[in-house]
Amino acid sequence: MLLTACSGGGETPASPAAAPTSNATSSAAPSPSPSSSPPPVSSSPPSTSAAPPVGSGKVVVLDPGHNGGNASNPAEINRKVPAGRGQTKPCNTTGTSTNAGYPEHAFTFAVAQEVGNALAAKGIKVVYTRQNDSGVGPCVDERAQIGNNANADAVVSIHADGSTSPTAHGFHVAYSAPPLNAAQGEPSLKLARTMRDGIRDDGFATSTYIGSAGLSPRNDLAGLNLSTRPSVLVECGNMRNADEAGQMSSAAGRAHYAQAIAKALEAYLASA
């Protein structure tokens, strides 16, 4: 099962064709410097009353899986980095795609931007682990560090799966287990449950092939292992399933995913 996860071994590895200039490509890789999201959309102007915005003081780190330049930079993304629990993993992976070729990295970036815009409109500070969909990386350990450095109230990695079974479908939310620190314990489990509930309540089916009731405890995901903040990874669905591929490939479908994730994050922050 885990072999089919997009962040596991089921995706197309980058070919080791590039020249071994890892030092050069490493320094040329986009720096993981976080930046704030765009300001709230004009349809939600800040209130002039004394009441602070609902999200005042809260920080969310959004981590769109993979990156558009990964596939053409195998030397950089295949280098091993710390993955937690004494393990190492490739810096990053290419991610999967729909059968029609719509890539996971484009989906995750688009959804993260929409989630971030919705949260920023509520006064929540949003930090992204990557600023565009054409760069390389950052590595999984660097992504975790961005969440840690931001002192995030919640960290959400956004992915889509690539199960080779076309009938496999549904979303799941992964969390670190067994926990390696306090934040990976109850806070992350609560975030995972709240995220699962919110996405399910918004009309999405839980996974038919990974985890249980939309939740998947994992000990092998570097971003979760290395996090010191409440963190989850959302696999929105199976890009190799025709119905879910259709949703992910459409702007309306991506907006639906984003709305569900943003609402769940707001619910978590309100209860945290």
Binding site for Zn ion (CB under 5 A): 6-7, 65, 95, 159
Query: At closest approach, how far in Å is the CB of 46 from Zn ion?
Result: 35
| 186: three-class secondary structure by DSSP | helix
CA–CA gap between residue 195 and residue 62 (Å, rounded) = 14
Q: Is residue 218 within 8 Å of 162, Cβ to Cβ?
A: no
CA–CA gap between residue 238 and residue 163 (Å, rounded) = 6
Parallel, antiparallel, or unpaired for β 80-84 and 87-90? antiparallel
Query: At closest approach, how far in Å is the CB of 3 from Zn ion?
Result: 13
Nearer to Zn ion, 65 or 90 (CB): 65
Query: At closest approach, how far in Å is the CB of 41 from Zn ion?
Result: 28
CA–CA gap between residue 261 and residue 114 (Å, rounded) = 10
Query: At closest approach, how far in Å is the CB of 174 from Zn ion?
Result: 11
Query: At closest approach, how far in Å is the CB of 118 from Zn ion?
Result: 22
In the residue annotation, 235 being an active-site residue is answered as yes
CA–CA gap between residue 206 and residue 237 (Å, rounded) = 9
Nearer to Zn ion, 65 or 103 (CB): 65
CA dihedral 259, 242, 162, 194 (to 10 degrees): 30
What stretches of the chain adopt beta strand conformation (E)?
59-64, 80-84, 87-90, 125-128, 154-161, 172-176, 215-218, 231-238
Structure-token pair, residue 154: 């919640």
Query: At closest approach, how far in Å is the CB of 93 from Zn ion?
Result: 7
Q: What angle do CA 87, 9, 238 make, to 5 degrees?
A: 130
Nearer to Zn ion, 7 or 225 (CB): 7
Nearer to Zn ion, 7 or 129 (CB): 7
| 199: three-class secondary structure by DSSP | helix
CA–CA gap between residue 173 and residue 187 (Å, rounded) = 14
Nearer to Zn ion, 7 or 206 (CB): 7
Backbone φ and ψ for 151, nearest 5 degrees, come out as 55, 45
Nearer to Zn ion, 150 or 174 (CB): 174
Could you say which of 76, 104, 235, 266 is catalytic?
A: 235
Q: Which residues are catalytic?
A: 235
